[in-house]
Structure 1
Amino acid sequence: MKHLRFRHILHRRQKHVLLAIGIAVMLAACGVDRNIKKGEKFLALGEYYDAAVQFKTAYQRTSPKDRRQRGELSLKMADCYDRISSSQRAVAAYRNAIRYKQDNGETHRKLAENLMKNGSYAEALKEYHIALDSLPDAPGIAQGLQAAGKAAAEKAHGSKYIVKRMDVFNSRRQDYSPMLAGDKSEQLYFTSTRNEAKGDGLSGITGVKAGDIFLSEKDEKGKWSPPKAIESGLNTEADEGTPALSADGREMYITQCLTDPSYPRYAQIAVSNRSDAAWGKATKLEISRDTLSSFAHPAVSPDGNWLYFTSDMPGGKGGLDIWRVRLTGGTTGGAENLGEPVNTPGDEEFPTFRPNGDLYFSSNGHGGLGGLDIYIAKVGSDRRYHLEHPGYPLNSQGDDFGMTFEGLHNRGFFSSNRGDGRGWDHIYSFELPEIIQTVKGWVYERDGYELPAAQVFMVGDDGTNRKLAVKGDGSFEQEIQPGVNYVLLATCSGHLNHKEEIRVSPVEASREYTLQFPLAGLHVPVLIDNIFYDFDKATLRPESEKALNELVKLLDENPNVTIELSAHTDYIGSAEYNKRLSQRRADAVVAYLTAHGIARDRLTPVGYGKERPKKIRKKLTEKYPWLKENDVLTEDFIRKLDKEKQETANQLNRRTEFTVLRTTYGMFDEKGNLKQQPKPKAKKDDADDEIIIDLNS
């Protein structure tokens, strides 16, 4: 009896266990379905990290006996890991799919690509062979096979590039797309997902915080400061990254990725304006009415005329392509695909420019060492792009991208996820030792400040014809070639032109030519510095010749200008005497100018004596802090100063100046018609307006 009871109890327990197992299986199946549905939703929204988490959970809840579903989930995980550059996880997931017999030719191709990112070139070669057998006509496989076959040898061959990881900029998260700024490249903007970025949530795309723009600054000793997030309206809780500055440094273009829980949001390019040393809130740049394509990775051409960017919009070569639009008054229009050889059926991203005009970009469609490799596109004599691969260590088995250059030198910073098991990007420095010659100049107003609104035209006897961008401090910099004669002309509205010439000789070390472009204002008296006369006489002393020859040169460069040539004295002595002396001195300067080829009717000599004491301009107050802008050095003003300052003020009053009277001399005939009618400009597709300078004049 007892035994029967025991058997009865055992039977009941077995029924409970089987019921529990059945319920658990049913619940697990329901949980798996929920995970898969969530994963599919995240995938549709482009939130690949969150999708991978759901597919992984579903995989772990799926019985090992259900090999089909495990294989399908492995493929989904692998696709997500591949999209977020987590190549080690992608490799494991693709191998799982193959183990569960859910593979095809595309599976082996993607596995090969991720093995390349890990530097496993021999294994990648095997997988490319398998993919080629299944997909003999698929684009990119034959090229990948070729790249895998020679990558190890190319990496071993190396190059002269010097690459170092820059931990001063890097965090324990992602740091990428650096951009040097400032007149001395003393600022570095870059994207970071570090903890200090705005917002508390983690991105469903990457699994880390949304990116923000950070800034590090270099002090006078060359030390970089700890990076700080930009405190302005530029950064938001959305993703901001890949900064690029306009030619004048007043606008910042960024990639912005907004989020929405219900539908996909595509990357867009936004622009922020700088005012009062702060970057304002970025607003979307309308490149196209296409709302189903991504627009990212902005870059401004050195001349400021074109915005280059990455997009998957229709009309490309496949994948992501590099496009450009012309920038016109803050608007854009007419997107152009760069075409071959730059774009491929693969992905071309992160365009940037070296100041000499070379286009740098990253691609996984040209072979290379794995992942995104950096390529250089140079325009040849046939006006077509010709590509160069700079080799290892600038390129690696990982993703290498986001170049920025320190002036004209082949050095700066870039980003790479090489050696990071999570696929996270970090900032590296690079330098390629080379011999280059450059010209650096400053454009400023005589007796005044820099002129960032100026334009500089450079013409060389090798056919060079360029318009150079002027920075905020009035400076410009340009690479020049040995054996070439150059003429540089600086112009600015409201000022006379100024021209300089240089001849570039071959050198064995890098050399920088420095030039000054002081522009005379049309509406203010311009001091002719270093004019010396014998005491109490109108005789010009020999040391005055340099300044007078510069005035001759200025008048030659501006042949339609007439000037008043004025001489001034201090208040010491009688008014009549001072006026006669100053008139003779003005006449002496005019006599020198006419003797050196300047037409007499372009010159009006006037001796003012002490009638027009000097009016102080702001720039002069920096040298003499005891003076204020708009002070007038009258006799009463000077007599209130101490003795030493009185002598300085008297010296400032003893001066020779010129003032522009007309800018149309010789332009009209007796009937008032222009002597030379302007010729219509020829239409050009891409060239900027040219300026013709006579190299022999």
Structure 2
Amino acid sequence: MKRSLLVFFLISLLGISCTSLPKKGQKQFASGEYQYAIGTFSRILEKDPDNRDANFYVAESYRLSNRVEKSSSYYEKLVDNEPEFENLYRLGLSYKAQGENEKAMESFERAKGLTVDDDYLRLVNHELSVLTKVGEIKDYWPNIEIQNYTSLNTAGPDYAPVASEGYLYFASSRQASGIYPATGVPYTKLFRTKAEGVRVDVQNIQAMPEFRNEEGLNQGAIAISPDGNTIIYARGNSTSNKDLPDVHLFASYFRGGGFTQPIWMPLNEDEFWWNSTPAFSPDGNTLYFASNRPGGQGGTDLYQATKLANGDFGNPVNLGAQINTPGNEMFPRVTKDGKIFFASDGHPGLGKLDIFVAEPIDGGGYEVKNLGPKVNSSADDFGIFFTNYPQEGFLTSNRAGGAGDDDIYSFEDKTPKPKVVNVLLNVTTLEKKEDGSEEILPQTRVALYDASNKMTGGDFSNQNGRVRFTLAPDENFSLIASKAGYFSKSITYDTRGKTPKQEDLIQDVTNIVLDTTIVLDVLVLDKAIVLENIYYDLDKADIRPDAAEELDKLVTILKDNPTISIELSSHTDARATDAYNDALSQRRAESAVAYMVSKGISEDRLVAKGYGKRQLIIKDAKTEEEHQVNRRTEFKVIEVK
């Protein structure tokens, strides 16, 4: 009898225990104690693997505690028994978080066929669109190198680093005094240590001294104003009924030699809205943060709030649908060039949260780009901070190979510095003698101008007529040589195609030595200088194209020598009458002058003179070649101001 009563008691106790487990788990789930709920319902699944409720609560607990990648086996059980939209959609999210994109697309397609609800269709169509674009992701910084800061990280979460005034601030579960029941990991506090760039003093990490870390809740992502006088951070997840029910932003201000106790910020607006991951604009006048408040695109969206006259931040504005998605956007970081870096699981990515950049485009709006596999992984990647934009900084990731949870990583852009090519141009200044020979012309001023006609150098040639300039490769230059008693002369010099390609260079610095000469003519008043190849059609004074090319050279001489005035003369051969030749040569001279005026030469500097056949070089010309010598155009300097 006693034995029968004992068996009955044990059976009754077991029944009560089985009945109480689901209620216990549901209570834990409803309280946001997701890790505890997972433990409770896992006990039921050990005996009943197909239990619908247990699979549901474990799957949802993983999803709601940001571990959706661990939920797929439980959603699969639910789908096998209840192929409903929500089960298939969330199974797709789980596959996507694991990088199993084909499985994810199959689940999303099945889910799409099970609903006519517009909101559901918008969600699933967005996910399908995102997955089709994953193959287009490219590395934003092809030469970036990322390293786990192993000596800084612990087995628990270490995340969201921010540098300010020689210190690195971050959130960490070290020195924790309790367990966050949603994830089963210790609560996080705020710490700091000295840092220079990405080099961190890991031996002297301390709890941040500006204000006291609170016990029994998470103190997370932190922002420090550019002037160092305002600290804003996320605080929440308390299990106390007397505390706020969600995560909110708190601010501490430097007053009277110290920081104030943190106070709740009015921009949180509602105690049931989640507000976190703050960041200041480079000028400190705008605060960016993430929130799940109503009216957004879905999940958590990025907002900006402008500093008010009283120093608070107000009137949060959603950053819009180009940046925000039905998924989650958080951890904004705005740079001086107007780019917005942020984390998202709603844009085309490699798994869970990836880091993206929104680049401003002409006409307004943004183009969003994934930073690519050199930065992102299939796990969560977020919280980028630049210590020297864009060359180096920190980010957070819980990718494989870390210390066990969220870890802080440093990154540096290792793009090789381009090899330097110097073009060393040796310029020799010469003068042309009466017999046509050339001799060294020392102490000649040579000026160097770039393609925009800006003077970039100048010097006098030495006794050997040499002067050297260092030029950039693949550019256009001009050189003007001048000396009293000589015509100034300009030449162009092009270094394009005269240097090796970058990929062919071996040394860090390569000097290419090139040479050129500038020959100056003696400037003599009233000395006739023949312009070669100035031809006119028979009995005409129109400037032919070939004559225009020669006159352009004279235009250059006049521009190089702005202090001279010239007489431009036209001569005919001995054939035809004096009156006819005088008139024809005058028209030709005037036509040439008019052409040069059209090229920008002041008419005051030009005198047109037709000499007809009165100044023949060959007086008894017989052949056509001899007549051509007489038919010439000349100029002579008649004044030097």
Alignment TM-score, normalising by the size of structure 1? 0.54
- 8 Å Cα contact 1:31/1:58 also seen in 2: no
- 8 Å Cα contact 1:301/1:308 also seen in 2: yes
1:375, distance to aligned residue in structure 2 (A): 1.4
Alignment partners' CA distance in 1, 2:361 and 2:35: 43
Equivalent residue number for residue 248 of structure 1: 227
Alignment partners' CA distance in 2, 1:288 and 1:35: 33
Report whether the alignment pairs 1:54 with 2:40. yes
Distance 1:218 1:299, change over 3 A: closer
Alignment partners' CA distance in 1, 2:362 and 2:472: 22
Equivalent residue number for residue 42 of structure 1: 31
Paired AA for residue 217 in structure 1: K
- 8 Å Cα contact 1:302/1:357 also seen in 2: no
Distance 1:382 1:221, change over 3 A: closer
Paired AA for residue 402 in structure 1: G
Aligned partner (choices 131, 151, 162) of residue 168 of structure 1: 151
- 8 Å Cα contact 2:248/2:268 also seen in 1: no
Aligned partner (choices 7, 21, 28) of residue 32 of structure 1: 21
Alignment partners' CA distance in 2, 1:410 and 1:277: 35
Report whether the alignment pairs 1:132 with 2:112. yes
Equivalent residue number for residue 373 of structure 1: 354
Distance 1:206 1:301, change over 3 A: same
Alignment partners' CA distance in 2, 1:152 and 1:374: 16
Deviation digits for residues 216-239 of structure 1 (CA, Å, limit 9, x no counterpart):
323699453333221342421132
Question: What's the secondary structure of 1:134's corresponding residue?
Answer: coil
Alignment partners' CA distance in 2, 1:26 and 1:411: 61
Alignment partners' CA distance in 2, 1:148 and 1:298: 29
Question: What's the secondary structure of 1:138's corresponding residue?
Answer: helix
- 8 Å Cα contact 2:89/2:108 also seen in 1: yes
Paired AA for residue 379 in structure 1: P
Deviation digits for residues 325-360 of structure 1 (CA, Å, limit 9, x no counterpart):
111232122121111201122211111122333111
Aligned ranges for residues 232-631 of structure 1 at < 5 Å? 232-237=210-215, 238-257=217-236, 259-262=238-241, 265-274=245-254, 279-328=259-308, 329-419=310-400, 424-433=405-414
1:88, distance to aligned residue in structure 2 (A): 4.7
Question: What's the secondary structure of 2:73's corresponding residue?
Answer: helix
Paired AA for residue 229 in structure 2: R
Equivalent residue number for residue 111 of structure 1: 91
Equivalent residue number for residue 101 of structure 2: 121
1:415, distance to aligned residue in structure 2 (A): 0.6
Deviation digits for residues 584-616 of structure 1 (CA, Å, limit 9, x no counterpart):
xxxxxxxxxxxxxxxxxxxxxxxxxxxxxxxxx
Question: What's the secondary structure of 1:139's corresponding residue?
Answer: helix
Q: Using the aligned pairs only, state the percent identity.
A: 25
Aligned partner (choices 62, 87, 94) of residue 75 of structure 2: 94
Alignment partners' CA distance in 2, 1:309 and 1:221: 24
Distance 1:293 1:422, change over 3 A: farther
- 8 Å Cα contact 1:373/1:396 also seen in 2: yes
Question: What's the secondary structure of 1:96's corresponding residue?
Answer: helix
1:157, distance to aligned residue in structure 2 (A): 11
Equivalent residue number for residue 201 of structure 2: 224
Paired AA for residue 121 in structure 2: A
Equivalent residue number for residue 179 of structure 1: 162
- 8 Å Cα contact 1:88/1:114 also seen in 2: yes
Deviation digits for residues 536-563 of structure 1 (CA, Å, limit 9, x no counterpart):
xxxxxxxxxxxxxxxxxxxxxxxxxxxx
Distance 1:139 1:269, change over 3 A: same
Equivalent residue number for residue 184 of structure 2: 207
- 8 Å Cα contact 1:187/1:216 also seen in 2: yes
1:135, distance to aligned residue in structure 2 (A): 4.1
Question: What's the secondary structure of 1:406's corresponding residue?
Answer: strand
Deviation digits for residues 370-404 of structure 1 (CA, Å, limit 9, x no counterpart):
11121111222212222122111212111111010
- 8 Å Cα contact 2:161/2:171 also seen in 1: yes
- 8 Å Cα contact 1:234/1:279 also seen in 2: no
Distance 1:415 1:278, change over 3 A: farther
Of the structure 1 ranges 85-94 and 318-327, higher mean CA displacement relative to structure 2 is found in 85-94
Question: What's the secondary structure of 2:179's corresponding residue?
Answer: coil
1:506, distance to aligned residue in structure 2 (A): 9.7
Normalized per residue, the structure richer in strand is 2
1:315, distance to aligned residue in structure 2 (A): 1.8
Question: What's the secondary structure of 1:330's corresponding residue?
Answer: coil
Question: What's the secondary structure of 1:349's corresponding residue?
Answer: strand
Distance 1:220 1:177, change over 3 A: closer
Deviation digits for residues 60-117 of structure 1 (CA, Å, limit 9, x no counterpart):
4xx529x4xx222211111111222334532232233335x14522222222222222
Distance 1:422 1:56, change over 3 A: farther
Paired AA for residue 316 in structure 1: G
Equivalent residue number for residue 441 of structure 2: none
Distance 1:165 1:74, change over 3 A: same
Distance 1:102 1:222, change over 3 A: same
Distance 1:53 1:330, change over 3 A: farther
Distance 1:159 1:293, change over 3 A: same
1:293, distance to aligned residue in structure 2 (A): 1.0
Alignment partners' CA distance in 1, 2:363 and 2:473: 28
Aligned ranges for residues 615-694 of structure 1 at < 5 Å? none
1:154, distance to aligned residue in structure 2 (A): 4.4
Distance 1:399 1:221, change over 3 A: closer
Query: Which structure would you say has the larger Rg?
Result: 2
Of the structure 1 ranges 34-43 and 281-290, higher mean CA displacement relative to structure 2 is found in 34-43
> Gaps (5+ residues) in structure 2?
418-451, 455-470, 475-641
- 8 Å Cα contact 2:348/2:370 also seen in 1: no
Alignment partners' CA distance in 1, 2:257 and 2:110: 57
Deviation digits for residues 520-551 of structure 1 (CA, Å, limit 9, x no counterpart):
xxxxxxxxxxxxxxxxxxxxxxxxxxxxxxxx
Paired AA for residue 400 in structure 2: G
Alignment TM-score, normalising by the size of structure 2? 0.59
Distance 1:159 1:122, change over 3 A: farther
Aligned ranges for residues 78-89 of structure 1 at < 5 Å? 78-89=59-70
Alignment partners' CA distance in 1, 2:289 and 2:100: 32
Alignment partners' CA distance in 2, 1:420 and 1:38: 35
Distance 1:417 1:219, change over 3 A: closer
Alignment partners' CA distance in 2, 1:113 and 1:364: 10
Paired AA for residue 19 in structure 1: F
CA RMSD across the alignment: 3.5
1:210, distance to aligned residue in structure 2 (A): 1.6
Equivalent residue number for residue 693 of structure 1: none
Paired AA for residue 34 in structure 2: Y
1:147, distance to aligned residue in structure 2 (A): 4.1
Of the structure 1 ranges 48-57 and 312-321, higher mean CA displacement relative to structure 2 is found in 48-57
Distance 1:132 1:422, change over 3 A: farther
- 8 Å Cα contact 2:141/2:413 also seen in 1: no
- 8 Å Cα contact 1:140/1:345 also seen in 2: yes
- 8 Å Cα contact 1:356/1:408 also seen in 2: no
Alignment partners' CA distance in 1, 2:249 and 2:396: 20
Alignment partners' CA distance in 1, 2:62 and 2:235: 22
Alignment partners' CA distance in 1, 2:25 and 2:348: 35
Paired AA for residue 246 in structure 1: S
1:320, distance to aligned residue in structure 2 (A): 1.0
Distance 1:435 1:343, change over 3 A: farther
